A and B are shown apart, each in its own frame.
Chain A
């Protein structure tokens, strides 16, 4: 088995350093080859931390498409992963406190899934609402759940938000969603003082997105 060094810096697309908030930090990325029985596999892990700035979402979305479509999967499937990330980042930006959002993307060993994990601090009230939506979107088939949520939106008197995001992730993202709530919010603060209180919790959402490895059943669509 041979494990070359992490990927060289020129792999990263230009946009990553130019977020409007200026707060995006690339904490860690690993990309290496493992040779097992002469079969070449790519494993991919990306960790990002950013502050809730709406304009950064498009930069991260395009970064994900770019990095995944180079080596991991087709452009179409990279787009799908980015769609899931984008919807989850939008939710996090809307409901997160100011302490920031952690995102991790990790390719699994058998190269059939990308696991996307997103973590942010939010108020307990938002977590209650999230749990309610989560129950609704996890009933029945992904398509039916999405349709039901659309009907719910059409009949809703609340104009403010769509609440379609999670159902869309499940259906369009070909994704299994799970979550956990953590009460210890300190690790996410990274040295920042005060700002949190007992009305806040950490919401950790995991989305397991099925992908086809690059070269298998690849199409040009997005």
Chain B
């Protein structure tokens, strides 16, 4: 499945999908980020590819409620489908957060630390 969902902004955050890549950008620091993330991710789940990339390189801030949204999504996907989380190597918080998420399902969640910004 190939997605082409244009960028949707919500305060200082944005989410979009192109090909098999979901892109999260800006600051996800909302009181309830589910309000805009959940409907978007539900669209993805309805046609999820076997390999999905979540690109957070341009995500500057993600609060714990945003992390919960990601966890809910990873729980809802078919168990054997693979997800690669693409992080910016220079943003150590991304690596730190995502490493723990990866440890929940090492066979199906992978991290890709990228040096260069999008």
A211-222 interface code vs B (CB 8 A; 1 in, 0 out):
000000001111
| CA A128 to CA B68, docked complex, whole Å | 22
| CA A150 to CA B27, docked complex, whole Å | 21
The secondary structure that dominates the A interface is helix
Residue contact A164 to B31, C-beta cutoff 8 Å: no
Residue contact A162 to B68, C-beta cutoff 8 Å: yes
B74-100 interface code vs A (CB 8 A; 1 in, 0 out):
010000000000000111110011001
A-B contact count (CB 8 A): 74
The secondary structure that dominates the B interface is helix
Q: Does A104 contact B (CB under 8 A)?
A: no
Residue contact B92 to A164, C-beta cutoff 8 Å: no
Q: Which chain B residues lie closer than 8 Å to A122 at the CB level? A: none
List the A residue with the shortest CB-CB distance to B89. A221
List the B residue with the shortest CB-CB distance to A55. B11
Residue contact A220 to B100, C-beta cutoff 8 Å: no
Interface residues contributed by chain A, number (CB under 8 Å):
33
Interface residues contributed by chain B, number (CB under 8 Å):
27
Residue contact B68 to A153, C-beta cutoff 8 Å: yes
| CA A191 to CA B36, docked complex, whole Å | 40
A74-112 interface code vs B (CB 8 A; 1 in, 0 out):
001001100100110010011000000000000000000
Residue contact B93 to A83, C-beta cutoff 8 Å: yes
Q: A147-B103, A165-B64 are in contact. Are A171 and B93 (CB under 8 A)?
A: no
A191-222 interface code vs B (CB 8 A; 1 in, 0 out):
00000000000000000000000000001111
| CA A86 to CA B29, docked complex, whole Å | 9
| CA A86 to CA B67, docked complex, whole Å | 14
Residue contact B29 to A168, C-beta cutoff 8 Å: no
Q: Which of B61, B65, B92, B96 contacts A171 (CB 8 A)?
A: B96
CB-CB contacts below 8 Å: A106-164 with B: 143, 146-147, 150-151, 153-154, 159, 161-164
Q: Does A54 contact B (CB under 8 A)?
A: yes
Q: Does A58 contact B (CB under 8 A)?
A: yes
Q: Does A176 contact B (CB under 8 A)?
A: no
Task: Give the interface of B toward A (CB within 8 A).
Answer: 12, 27, 29-31, 34, 60-61, 63-65, 67-68, 71-72, 75, 89-93, 96-97, 100-101, 103-104
Query: What are the nearest 4 A-B pairs in CB distance?
Result: A162-B68, A164-B64, A221-B90, A165-B64
